[in-house]
Structure 1
């Protein structure tokens, strides 16, 4: 038995009016296949190009190990030169990924390769982050702290994206005081005996190819798997819903700091408590829903 997923709609091109009225206003995901065709990045951005312009940069790498107190908060699991990392990705599958690293700030030539799309969203005009992953590396199921509307562009190869709208949160074993679901859930091949609520969750899926863009509405859960070595870029727009703005402010100014404080105080016991509570809360949600 697999997750209950339907294909995300795809269009080759779309006007900003149609994009806004059909997808942003209704908070529905879509893949736009040819939005980047006119960008220099469409022709230039591949791993060999990144090696040429950024090969000497020392980059932080993360794998898919569960959150642990001994690793520290958002501390890199390894570091290496970008050229060595690209060699590793092209040689064999690897769990190592790059995220939360502002490569564009380090390598200014990359800033000339993309264009801010005129697509009906007020994008935050700050340098976008790039995200890299080796074949079969995974980004755990999560939603973004700021509830942004996200334009997610992929380059070099193929990436699989699974999305769930916020309405499905009761079934996703959300870890309290965090933005993630239980990290030991295999969303490629879920164990429904262990995680029965997942059978109720209704989501969406797509495979992004080179140059394609996925629109992810505010608060959407996303799980991503690099089917081949590759990299992505996200542009963001603040949430339009007042309630989501409030949630974003709470996450940034209250929840995040509370969680850091509790990690320092309780250590691994706090992480273990949250993981147990994720099961308790979800099982309660499932019972309540079944009663109604």
Structure 2
């Protein structure tokens, strides 16, 4: 079964006033197709260029293995030189991804290749993060720990983005004490007999190509699939809703540390408990039995 996904609206360009009124204020996503076309990055940023300026950097890598007690919250699975990783991306499929990496801090010259867009809110200028992936590699369905408003720029190829607003959390089998949905769900081809609540979820979808920009409102769930090898950069702004700011503080200073302690002390029993609770709570909340075949 296919999910109930609406194409994200696209605009070529947009004024600050229109962006604030029609998307930010309403907390709706939008793709801006030409926001980066006057950046040096639009013409320069590809895998070859990154290899040229950052090939010697040792970078953290993640794969698509299920979360386990073996690693702490957001702990990398391995490390590799950037040149070796880019060669891997260009030669064969790989599940290894770079996630939340501040390459612009490591290679300051890259900071001259872009500018912060004037769209009506302030950005955290010390936190432009880069993400890399190989063909068909996937980022699991999650929302960001700080519930920020995110501007997401894609380079070198194409990636698919599936989004759900926070109002749909009750259908997404959210894992307790975590920021993810149950990792057994294939959001490209979900088994609704196994995950019946997904039938009620309503979200958004788009494919981002080189130079295109996606606005993801605060607290939005997102799942990414790289259709070609490529990379993206995110910049972020603090959540503007007071409740979301409070939740973000809780996530950063309490939730993730509590989860790390429980992983260390209870191991896989803790991980299994959380996954079981995700299924039980979601199915119960939506009127389904655990083995309901509706």
TM beyond 0.5: yes
Superposition pairs of residues 1-292 of structure 1, within 5 angstroms: 1-287=1-287
CA contact (8 A) 2:130 2:233 kept: yes
CA contact (8 A) 2:162 2:205 kept: yes
**Mapped partners of 1:180, 1:85: distance in 2:** 26
Q: Number of aligned residue pairs: give it.
A: 288
CA contact (8 A) 2:72 2:263 kept: no
**Mapped partners of 1:220, 1:127: distance in 2:** 19
Where in structure 1 do 4 or more consecutive aligned residues deviate above 6 Å? none
**Mapped partners of 2:121, 2:255: distance in 1:** 27
**Mapped partners of 1:74, 1:172: distance in 2:** 21
Q: Give the TM-score normalised by structure 2.
A: 0.96
Pairwise CA RMSD: 1.1
Structure 1 runs not aligned, ≥5 long:
none
Range 87-96 or range 149-158, more displaced: 87-96
CA contact (8 A) 2:153 2:213 kept: yes
Return the offset for 1:72: 4.2
Q: Give the TM-score normalised by structure 1.
A: 0.96
CA contact (8 A) 2:73 2:256 kept: no
Range 55-64 or range 35-44, more displaced: 55-64
Return the offset for 1:77: 2.0
Range 269-278 or range 71-80, more displaced: 71-80
Q: What SS does structure 2 have at the residue aligned with 1:111?
A: helix
Structure 2 runs not aligned, ≥5 long:
289-294
